[in-house]
A and B are shown apart, each in its own frame.
Chain A
Amino acid sequence: MTDQHDNPIRDAVAEAIATNDVILFMKGTPEAPACGFSARTVGALQALDTRFAAVDILPDPRIRQELTAISQWPTIPQLFVGGELVGGCDIVTEMFESGELAELLGADGQAPAAEPAVADGAPLQIENRLS
């Protein structure tokens, strides 16, 4: 069980997924995406007026490493709704165009105001949660 040591980053990623109805792990921030795929995914969410939490994976390479270990998904961005991986840019774009994304978020995207959704504010900074 050598890989069962304390892993605060993995715990923080898992907790962020569990506690935010809609959370996007991306490169950069919703205001300043650092990758076209992340930008397009943010665009789809914003087009649907979705409240979502966002985590920039770039500040620490371990965030991506742990996220991928949890999600078994190799690329960024990754959108989770209700704790489940929805997909990356391709799937989110396809679902946006087909209306499935609106349907999915219509049910789950109306996060209560108490949700720490940060669409307009500072993105969730995982490393800050560890200090």
Chain B
Amino acid sequence: MPDAATIKARIEAAIPGAQAEVEDWTGGGDHFRATVVADAFAGLSRIQQHRLVYEIFGAEIGGPIHALSLKTHSQ
């Protein structure tokens, strides 16, 4: 069962310089909401920014992580 702290740590480990805020949206351990700020997003479209985050979790999105709602910004 993923938790918000683990998801935050994985995002920050995978994207250099990223800062993530992750909350468990429903308290059920499967719907999460994350705001991610990273220099790595500069110059990327929203789609590309979100893909960078989704790629970290691969098939877990839609599996154990039912939903990971994202807001992404470059600093």
Contacts and interface: CB of A to CB of B under 8 A. Distances in A.
A73 B46 CA distance: 12
A2 interface: no
A89 B68 CA distance: 11
Interface of B: 46-47, 50-51, 54, 57-59, 61-62, 67-71
A89 B71 CA distance: 11
A75 interface: yes
Interface of A (DSSP majority class) = mixed
Interface of A: 37, 64, 72-76, 85-91, 94-95
Contact of A91 (B47, B57, B59, B67): B47
Nearest to B62: A74
